[in-house]
Amino acid sequence: MEKIHATTILAVLHNGKVSIAGDGQATMGNTIAKSNVKKIRRLQDGKVVVGFAGSTADAFTLLDRFDEKLNAYGGNMKRAAIELAKDWRTDRFLRKLEAMLIAANKDEILVISGTGDVLEPDNQVAAIGSGSMYAQSAALALKKHAPHLSAEEIVRDSMHIAADICIYTNHNIVQETIS
């Protein structure tokens, strides 16, 4: 059985706001399985926004675990991410999950992977998924050469550029912003 995969998630922290977006495409082999998947979720009463790439069921399992960690550590996103990464690496069940997360709050962006990594991206731009390098490149260029743009504009424009290039990314963009 083929796995459902492929997506683009992008987060940018710029001028005091963080914006994160994901496209809506889920792909099974070389077929579009669904075009309007919502891969962005708000946690902690909207103070944390998370985007996921990879297997949807696995990502939801990780989102639930991450939310539990956020609750256990008083909303401290970095601490919750580190504890999730530790569990993800050592727990026999979690270790098999195939997904990645980007978590963002008003102050920081983190990329969380199953290899135990919790990365704070350079230049306050992070991307995961099949179209990540297209979206990240566009966001870095816009952030550098058009600093007057808002975080929302940079993310929206970069996601559309990625969707124009990556066959696993579509224009059904879901975007959330935290001030």
Residue pointed to by tokens 């966001």: 139
Token pair for 148: 């007057």
Query: How many whole angstroms separate alpha carbon 178 and alpha carbon 117?
Result: 24
User: For 113, what's the count of Cα atoms within 13 Å in the CB-facing half-sphere?
Assistant: 9
| Contacts of range 63-70, beta carbons closer than 8 Å, 24 or more positions apart | 63/101, 65/94, 66/101, 66/103, 66/112, 67/43, 70/43, 70/44
**What is the C-alpha to C-alpha distance for residues 132 and 169, in angstroms, rounded to an integer?**
9
Cross-strand pairs, 22? 9, 174
What's the maximum distance between 2 C-alpha atoms anywhere in the chain?
47
Q: Is 31 a catalytic residue?
A: no
Residue (of 129, 142, 136, 121) closest to 169 by Cα position = 129
User: How far is it, in rounded angstroms, from Cα 151 to Cα 179?
Assistant: 10
Query: Which listed residue (7, 8, 56, 169) is catalytic?
Result: 7
Question: Which amino acids are annotated catalytic?
Answer: 7
